[in-house]
Amino acid sequence: MGDRCARLALATLLAVGACSGASTTGPIVITFPISALGAEGQVLVRQLARFMAENPGIKVEQRVTPDAADQKHQLYVQWLNAGASDPDILQLDVIWTPEFAAAGWILPLDEFRPDTADFFPSTIAANRWQDSLYALPWFIDVGMLYWRTDLMTEPPATFEDLVREARRAKQQPGIRYGFVWQGARYEGLITTFLEYLGAYGGRILDGGRVVVSSDAGRRALTEMLDEIYGDGIVPSAVLTWHEEETRFAFQNGESAYMRNWPYPVPLMQDSSKSRVAGKFSVAPMPAGPGGSHTAAIGGAQLAINRRTEHPEAAWAVIDYLTRPEQMRERARVVGQFPTRPRLYDDPDLASGLIIPPATIRQIIDFAVPRPVTPVYTQLSEILQIHLHRALTRQTGPATALAQAQTEMQRLLNRAGLGTGEPVARR
């Protein structure tokens, strides 16, 4: 008996030793760096636990990463540039997909046949690079106009309406500001500007040509300046504000309007912390003459590291997390909007969301991706600086846009992506 036990133990040892290289016994381990905190993190843990129960052959390990986008980006670049096979799955900001795709750091997803037709076309477009899909939209953020239902009966359709209504609202006691948006020198300023630009029918990039220094661009930037220094409805302090500062102003009942992402909705609905609970709604950002309502796209995408040893297993995780059931759960618990349009007709979703799904859909229909280019972050930095110079009245709007266009075009040309001349046209 003892002898048999010993022999069995020996055999086991040998077997384990023999296959320690390519372990076939244990489950495949997929690593997934994630910075989700609080309720968002809990939803993910639950969903991954369900996934692992259904797929005993795959084990998903979470990695903690920094919350700030810039730091996360730096970390990802260090990993991927070093050719690490780990992490297997990446959570990307919408503006990183072309960069990582062009660098050859993430796998094209076409071979897995994702059901792209079931997603919002604008979110799919933002994740394409050179005719291939590189990341699958997980949830979508859109820039929108928050308005006070106790101060007015309907949201403004145009900037003209907004200015008029904001001025009237400022007469009310306690209303210090007409309108607040993200105007500090960072990525948020670009999303705000993009929405003004779209309102006047302008664009930042047209293929390989920078076209921001246009009539529409100048009108959009002039409108922003006028709202601060002319009409006085936007406080000049917004030029140092990010998302949270604008939320505090609106949540404290100090502002009639706010431009922001969807995340403040559940926070501001909490009447123990918010003075505007039940007194606000959302609408598309106003349109101007010559353009339409515009919403900048944000949100998270999931992609696969090109060096992963288990592409199939990584895809299985992504496929699971982007299924309608998981999206519905995320919407219900943390208010993150699904990237599949048909879910918005689902009565189940309506009961979970504070804002009616039809309103959200309407805003998403105006969604416009930021320029889809591998050098986006550098383009954005140039534009941020020149916009901020104009908004702090160091240069005029026309000069600022012309200079931005020249520098951005030079960058594109140096990267071999430009088709325009480095000199500003018009």
Q: By CB under 8 A, tell whether 104 contacts another protein.
A: yes
Q: Which two tokens stand for residue 330?
A: 């995320």
What distance in Å separates the CA atoms of residue 58 and residue 309, rounded to the nearest whole number? 13
Q: What minimum distance in Å lies between the beta carbon of 92 and another protein?
A: 15
Nearer to another protein, 5 or 82 (CB): 82
CB atoms within 10 A of CB 359: 17
Q: What minimum distance in Å lies between the beta carbon of 103 and another protein?
A: 5
Q: What minimum distance in Å lies between the beta carbon of 160 and another protein?
A: 26
* Phi-psi domain of 290 (left: phi exceeds 0; alpha: psi -120 through 50; beta: other): left
Nearer to another protein, 188 or 284 (CB): 188
Give the count of residues interacting with another protein (CB under 8 A): 31
Q: By CB under 8 A, tell whether 415 contacts another protein.
A: yes
Q: What is the crossing angle of helices 38-54 and 311-321, to 10°?
A: 120
Q: By CB under 8 A, tell whether 132 contacts another protein.
A: no
Q: What is the crossing angle of helices 324-334 and 38-54, to 10°?
A: 160
Q: By CB under 8 A, tell whether 239 contacts another protein.
A: yes
Q: By CB under 8 A, tell whether 247 contacts another protein.
A: no
- Which string of x and - marks every residue 40-69 that binds another protein (by CB under 8 A)? ------------------------------
Nearer to another protein, 216 or 391 (CB): 391
Q: What minimum distance in Å lies between the beta carbon of 364 and another protein?
A: 29
Q: Please name the residues in contact with 49: beta carbons below 8 A apart, sequence gap of 6 or more.
A: none
* Span interacting with another protein, options 7-15, 70-78, 138-146, 208-216, rule CB under 8 A: 70-78
* Span interacting with another protein, options 27-35, 215-223, 235-243, 284-292, rule CB under 8 A: 235-243
What distance in Å separates the CA atoms of residue 148 and residue 58, rounded to the nearest whole number? 48
Render 224-263 in DSSP notation, one character per residue. HHIIIIIS--S-GGGGG--HHHHHHHHHTT-EEEEEE-ST
- Which string of x and - marks every residue 192-231 that binds another protein (by CB under 8 A)? ----------------------------------------
Q: What minimum distance in Å lies between the beta carbon of 189 and another protein?
A: 11
CA within 13 Å, CB half, 311? 10
Q: By CB under 8 A, tell whether 184 contacts another protein.
A: yes
Q: What minimum distance in Å lies between the beta carbon of 240 and another protein?
A: 5
Q: What separation, in Å, do the N-terminal and C-terminal C-alpha atoms of the chain show?
A: 93
What distance in Å separates the CA atoms of residue 223 and residue 48, rounded to the nearest whole number? 47
Q: Please name the residues in contact with 388: beta carbons below 8 A apart, sequence gap of 6 or more.
A: 183, 184, 185, 189, 239
Candidate residues 178, 374, 397, 420; the one interacting with another protein per rule CB under 8 A: 374
Q: How far is CA 276 from the centre of its chain?
A: 25
Q: Interface with another protein by CB under 8 A: which residues?
A: 70, 74, 77, 81, 99, 102-104, 184-186, 235-237, 239-240, 374-375, 377-378, 381, 385-386, 388-389, 391-392, 394, 414-416
